[in-house]
Structure 1
Amino acid sequence: MVLIKESSIQKMEKGTIVTPAGFQVSGMHTGVKRKRHDLGLIYCDVPASAAALYTQNIIQAAPLQVTKESIAQEGKLQAVIVNSGNANACTGKQGEADAYIMRQAAADYLSLPEQMVAVSSTGIIGLEMPMDHIIPNIENLHPATHAKDAAAFNESILTTDTCSKSTCHQTLIDGKKVTMAGSAKGSGMIEPNMGTMLAFVTTDAAIEPDMLHLALKEATDKTFNCITVDGDTSTNDMVLTMASGKAANNTLTPEHSDWVNFTELLQQTCEDLAKMIARDGEGATTLIEVEVNGAGSNDEAVKAAKTIVGSSLVKTAVYGADPNWGRIIAAVGRSGVKADAEAIDVSIGTIPLLENSQPLPFSEAEVSDYLKNDDVTIAVNLNVGNGAGRAWGCDLTYDYVRINASYRT
């Protein structure tokens, strides 16, 4: 595999979710969706430390409750059964029963205790699960470690996504190679606090479940919780990570000399997936990154960045290649963060537009041309402190309306 150096982290260009030792996956089409794969399986050949974070929506789908229960037993998992095309959300007692049936069917097939299996679903809310498609096909999932199996799994979790989303990195811990990989889905109903997204992260690092949860929470706050497409948070969203321990490093804790190396590995993996989700926003043509510096704290910087990148007016300005910096500073003003109305700097790309809240001369044509790129950066300095943060989103296009106007049809 070709490795590209990224500080202490190496990106594995041909790595997949099964590159970390111990993991196998499978994906297939069962008929829940019209064409694409819609049923997937992750399997680890040993009990893996597990940690997960869930949507902040108070309406949570049945599979989340089942997964929480599984992880709460021992903090370990060996499998995840996941379907797309139907969210199994707002489906009452029947939906809850169906989620447990999915867990039991996968456990029986893999000869595992049921608490070693997590369940995940994504798709249309409010429809009963087509169990006649799902349950008979679980035994037709044959997890393996080939690239084609990873590609099949990646496809099996998609809904309105236009492409699969995966990444893989490697680093050294205790002098041993530790690998981490991830697969995600997400395109619409995306707002900080995870919606509508699923992300599955595998690693062969040795780490206990509570420490894995600690690291995942920190990484998620800096990545998945810093993206937005449309301001909606769904009912099924989850990021779940499993650690097989097969790299045989000394067990990781914050006191371990390589703890920072591990957390950087996890954050880079999550950031890759988060940016892929933002880039693939429904109908999107541009990935927008907002960098805020000079805030009162890092949290305030992230809050301001999220507000800017989530602004419909900013998003449509980017789509229209309109260098309307007034929409940016207006978003800062309503973000609720500490700011001095006379001291704000704004740049688009490398072109300064505002300094100390005073307009600067610039070429509208030059900024407009820049906004036509696939990747756009907006930089804001609040000049009130040392806080810094980033957020990612996408432009808002006619196609977003078209896709969501016909989502069920």
Structure 2
Amino acid sequence: MQAGDIAFILISSLLVWLMTPGLAFFYAGVADEKNRLYMLRLGLIIIGLVSILWFAFGYSFAFTGSENFSKVFNQLFFNGVSFTHSTRELTIPDALFAFFQGTFAMITVLIIVGSVLGRMKTKALLLFLSFWLLVVYAPLAHMVWDNGFIARLGAIDFAGGTVVHISSGVTGLVLALMLGRRRDMKVIPAKSSYTFIGGLLLWLGWFGFNGGSALAANGQGILAMFNSAIASAAGLLGFSYCAYRKQSNITISDLFNGALAGLVAITPAAGFVAPWAALLFGMVAAPVIYWSLATLKTKCQYDDTLDAFGIHGVGGILGALLTAIFADKSFFSPVQGVIHGNWTLLGEQALAVLLTVAFTAALSYLLAKVVSLFTNGSLRVSAAIEDRGLN
């Protein structure tokens, strides 16, 4: 064990943990006033819910280290998880790795809420998110990060393009389609102070999210942080330019949505690409995600309330494909990308994206149908409650 690595991942874990209340604050800022306090309460509830579920079941389901199904129950309630040694050939103990991964699960679950805030019953939402964590997120984390099926296909995902962003974005879209559009589609001006504080907490936490995914205080961790800074800065400027061209104005939400666009896109590649490539990630992500929010959502007529799919789903897919193009062994990638002559990785990344979308969408739909059986056959709040809000 290395004391420096342990300290670095402890700090990174706390930064990622901070992202969940940060996202709750950010969502509250861009949500309708009638659901603002509800969003803050829901964020705190999810911190408690996911923490317990991850400790009890989630970690054991996700990181078995084996394809033997019977072994998924071996580490329930952290049974046998060492606080002093690693069974994963890391320089940090297993318990710290488990804690770090648990913070990822927490923020992923909360992202989904952004697609359905204000029109899904709280009981139905919490039941769905609980089952989703164990049935969708944990197996997907195993398939990508625990040498599971997707990893063995050759696909790479440094910090969660598929596991976190595509899965949460696609799930949000599935729920949004199942629930239908809001009764009142008026655009309510955001509460800029909430948006600003929440956005800053998210942005800060992302350095732990990406940097900590190196799982050691090393050059790859530095690269991941630096790439995150470059991509988010490029995304912010690019998205702001698109917004100004469209509406002759730039809002606080636009600025942070741009930063998030760059951050989401660089996440699967943060520790695998050169800094100049990170700049391109942000520059490409900004107009693509702006288009998904301003045009795609309108043309396809789905109601993704706070743009969880538009930012995280679209950004995650884009980032996974860009990773295939710019992956560079000179910058810690296990495999070269298209710019170095390896076209195979592009096919592997595309297949990983398709599998993640199909797996997530199918299971999310089935879970929502099952949950509806426990909520009087409906996932949606009554018209009166929706009009009044959930505060």
TM-score (norm: length of structure 1)? 0.26
> Which structure exhibits the higher relative contact order, with contacts defined as CA atoms closer than 8 Å and separated by 6 or more residues?
2
**Comparing both structures, which one devotes a greater share of its residues to strand?**
1
**Comparing both structures, which one devotes a greater share of its residues to helix?**
2
